Amino acid sequence: MSNSIAARNQHNKRKGADWEIEFANGMREEGFDIERLRLAGAEDEGDHVIREGRGHFIVVETKNAKFEPGTFIGEAERERLNFAKHRGLDLDDVESIVVVKRRGKNWRKAFVLTTVEDYFDLEPQ
């Protein structure tokens, strides 16, 4: 890999990490109980988890990348399963969403992705 490609990859990773921090700090300032998750690889659990109380969690995958909703949702769904499995939680108590940065906008104007099934709490098919 050339030095320019490596430098660009490093720059993109930094932008992604900055976005994760901006999102988490903003949510904390608004009173949300949010924690950054650190597992990576096949057992990744997402970037953050929001604890909503009564044993309910939202696993959050944050993205500052080319908009690929199907890929993003698939990743978030796998990470939801990992998060629940690692903690022995019922899947009904764990949701997942993707928060996608919008170019030129702050964290409050980001997109939130999920499925119709999850959003409206429909039975899985």
> Which domains does the chain possess?
3-119 (3.40.1350.10)
Confidence at 108, pLDDT banded by 50, 70, 90: very high
Instruction: Report the number of secondary-structure helices (H) and strands (E) in the chain.
Output: 3, 5
Question: What is the end-to-end Cα distance of the chain in Å, rounded?
Answer: 43
Confidence at 3, pLDDT banded by 50, 70, 90: confident
State pTM to two decimals: 0.89
Res. 67: pLDDT tops 80: yes
Taking the C-alpha atoms of residue 45 and residue 64, their distance in angstroms, rounded to an integer, is 18
Structure tokens at 95: 């949701």
Res. 8: pLDDT tops 70: no
Q: Mean pLDDT, to the nearest integer, of 3-29?
A: 83
